[in-house]
Amino acid sequence: MAMEDPDRKTEVVLLACGSFNPITNMHLRLFELAKDYLHETGKYKVIKGIISPVGDAYKKKGLISANHRVTMAKLATKNSDWVEVDDWESCQSEWLETLKVLRYHHQKLLSADVTNSLQHTVPITKLGRKRKQEQNSHEPVKKKNQSPVVKSVPQVKLLCGSDMLESFGVPNLWKLEDITEIVEKHGLVCISRAGNNVQKFIYESDILWRHKNNIHLVEEWITNDISSTKIRRALRRGQSIRYLVPDVVRAYIEKNRLYSPESEDRNAGVVLAPFQKHASDPKSSQALSN
Ligand X SMILES: Nc1ncnc2c1ncn2[C@@H]1O[C@H](COP(=O)(O)OP(=O)(O)OP(=O)(O)O)[C@@H](O)[C@H]1O
Determine which residue in the list 77, 228, 263, 284 makes contact with ligand X, applying CB under 6 A.
228
**273 C-beta neighbours (distance < 10 Å), count:** 20
Quote the Cα angle for 154-160-166, to 5°.
Answer: 130
**Gap between the Cα atoms of 106 and 102, Å rounded:** 6
Closest distance of CB 179 from ligand NMN, Å? 8
- On the question of a cis peptide bond just before residue 22, with omega within 30 degrees of 0, the verdict is yes
The enclosing H or E element of 160 equals strand 155-161
The CB-nearest residue to ligand X is: 161
| Binding letters toward ligand NMN, positions 177-196, x by CB under 6 A | -x------------------
Nearest-CA neighbor of 65 among 73, 181, 114, 134?
73
Map the footprint of ligand NMN across residues 19-58, applying CB under 6 A: 19, 54, 58
Map the footprint of ligand NMN across residues 235-274, applying CB under 6 A: 274
Which amino acid, residue 80?
A: S
In the chain, the largest separation of any two C-alpha atoms, in whole Å, equals 67
Establish if 110 lies at the interface with ligand X (CB under 6 A): no
Nearer to ligand X, 127 or 201 (CB): 201
Residues 6+ apart with CB under 8 A from 47: 11, 12, 13, 82, 154
3-state helix, strand, coil in the chain (%, to 5): 45, 15, 40
**Gap between the Cα atoms of 48 and 113, Å rounded:** 15
Establish if 87 lies at the interface with ligand NMN (CB under 6 A): no
Establish if 30 lies at the interface with ligand X (CB under 6 A): yes
Determine which residue in the list 20, 44, 252, 259 makes contact with ligand X, applying CB under 6 A.
20
Nearer to ligand NMN, 114 or 234 (CB): 234
Closest distance of CB 39 from ligand NMN, Å? 26
Exposed, middle or buried, 63 (CB in 10 Å: 0-12/13-18/19+)? buried
Nearer to ligand X, 141 or 226 (CB): 226
Establish if 60 lies at the interface with ligand NMN (CB under 6 A): yes
173 binds, among ligand X, ligand NMN, none (CB under 5 to 8 A by kind): ligand NMN
Establish if 173 lies at the interface with ligand X (CB under 6 A): no
Determine which residue in the list 86, 97, 113, 166 makes contact with ligand NMN, applying CB under 6 A.
97
Binding site for ligand NMN (CB under 6 A): 17-19, 54, 58, 60, 97-99, 164, 173-174, 178, 274
